[in-house]
Structure 1
Amino acid sequence: MQEIKSENQRIWFNPELLPEQPDACFDPVFWQQAGRVIGSAEGRGTTWFVQGEKLDMALRHYRRGGLFGKLVADSYCFLGWQKTRCAEEIALLDKLVRGGVRVPRPVAARAIRKGLCYQADILVEKIAEAKDLVGILQKEELPTATWLAVGAMVRKMHDLQVCHTDLNSHNILLDSQQQVWLIDFDKCYEQAGEAWKEKNLARLHRSFIKEQGKRGIHFSEQCWQALLDGYERFSC
C-alpha cells in the first residue's frame, strides 16, 4: 500500500488496483459523473458499487449503528492514524489475502481528522457474481462439498488468528464457480489463543438457526456437521 499524507488526512491505496486519482475516488459524485456507478446497496448508509479501470469495487463510508449512531452518525474518536477503522480493516484484509483466505482485496482507504474525531471511507474489491448464503439457501439446498468448503475457509481464517466479530450467514458468499468468500471485516481483529474460535463458530451456527426460523432457509444439523467436518479437516 502507498500512503498519501497531509496534516488532517491519510489515504492508503494500492496503485496496481487503483490507477484512478486516489483523493477523488472516495466521492460517489466522481463515479456518477464518470458514468461508472454500477449499483448500490442500503445498510448503514449507501454502499456504492463502481467500475474501476482495473476491477469493480465497493465504496463504503463508515457509519455507526444502533442508538448511538443516531446521535453521532459517522464520527469516531481519533487515537492515531493506524488505529482508524479503515486503516485497521485494510491491514486485516491484506493479511487475509496474503494468507490465502478469499476476501475482497483492499483497494484504498481514507481517514479525515476533524479535531479529536475522524471520518473514514474504504474501497474494496466487489466479488463478481456472488450471492450470500441466506439468499441461496432460501431457494435451494447446498451440496455437502459446499458446506465442507465453507468450514475450510472459516478454519483458514482462524488459523491466521483473525476473529470475525460478525461471522454470520450473510457474510459468507458463493460466486458463480461455487467458491466461498468471507466479507465485512469492519471491527474485526487478530486474536491470540484458541478458546475464542469455538465461540466464533457458535455465533455462525446461531445465525443459520435464526435465518431458518425467519426465512425458512434450507439448513439442517447435517449441513452444520458438514461445515464442522470441513473446519476440522483443513489445516495450514
Structure 2
Amino acid sequence: MAAENKTYRIGGLAITGTEAFLESFEPTFSAYLNQTVGEVYPGVGFIAVPLAFDDVWDAVSSASVDFLFLNPGSASCMESEFGVSAILSLRNFRQGNELNLFGGVVITAANRSDITEVAHLQDKVVEGVSVSGLGAFQLQWGLLQDQGFNLMADTEEVRFAYNQKKIVYDVINENVDVGFVRTDMVERMDAADLVPEWPLQALSHVPSDLAKEVVGALLLINETHEAAVSGGYSTWDVPLSYADLRR
C-alpha cells in the first residue's frame, strides 16, 4: 500500500498539558518528519495532535489519528483492542543518562514527615493523573496492593488531575497529601517497578512504506539534535516488549 498525499496525524498523550506536549514534540513529529519524510513523499505532511486520556479511545476507533505516542499501558491496550503496532520505543535522556525504562513514584511535600511509609497513606488524600495513567497511577496502585494496602478503601479520597505538573503543584501547596507521578517528574519517595519507555505506534491503515520512512528518519536523531533536545530524549530505538503489561 503506497503512501497517500495527506497530512498524517500523530496523537500523543499530553500528560503535562497541551502546550507542554506541543513544545516538546512538535519539533519531532511535525517539523522534523515534514523535513525528512516529506522530502521522500512531497505530498505527505505530519502534525502533532495532543490527546487527553479520555480522547485516546475515540481517536483510534474513528481513525482520526494515524500514529500514537502513548504511555505503555495505554499503548498495550490499543494494541490488544485495535491491532495498533509499536514501530519504535523512545530512549529518554535525563541528567546525562540514556534511559529506556521508567517507573512511578509516590511524592509528598518536604515538610510531611508524617508520611514516610505505605501505612501512613491511611485516610490521606491521594492524587494521580488518571485511572489509565501508567507511571502516574497504575504502577503505584499495584505497588501498594502488593504491600497489602487497598488504595480505594484505605484512603480518604483518590483524585485525578489529568496533568502531572498539576499533581506536583497540588502536593507542594498541600492541596493533597500524596501525589503519584512518573519517575522523572521529581525526586522520589518510593518507586514502583520499571517498565519500557513510551512507544510510537502506527495504526493498521498506515502504509507500510511510509511507516518504514518514519522509523528510518527517527532512528537518525541523536541527543544533540534540536528535536531531541526539545523532547528531552536521546533517540528512538527498535520497539521494546510490552507483553508484561497485558498480564
Where relative contact order (Cα < 8 A, 6+ residues apart) is larger, the structure is: 2
TM over 0.5: no
TM score, norm. by length of structure 1: 0.24
TM score, norm. by length of structure 2: 0.23
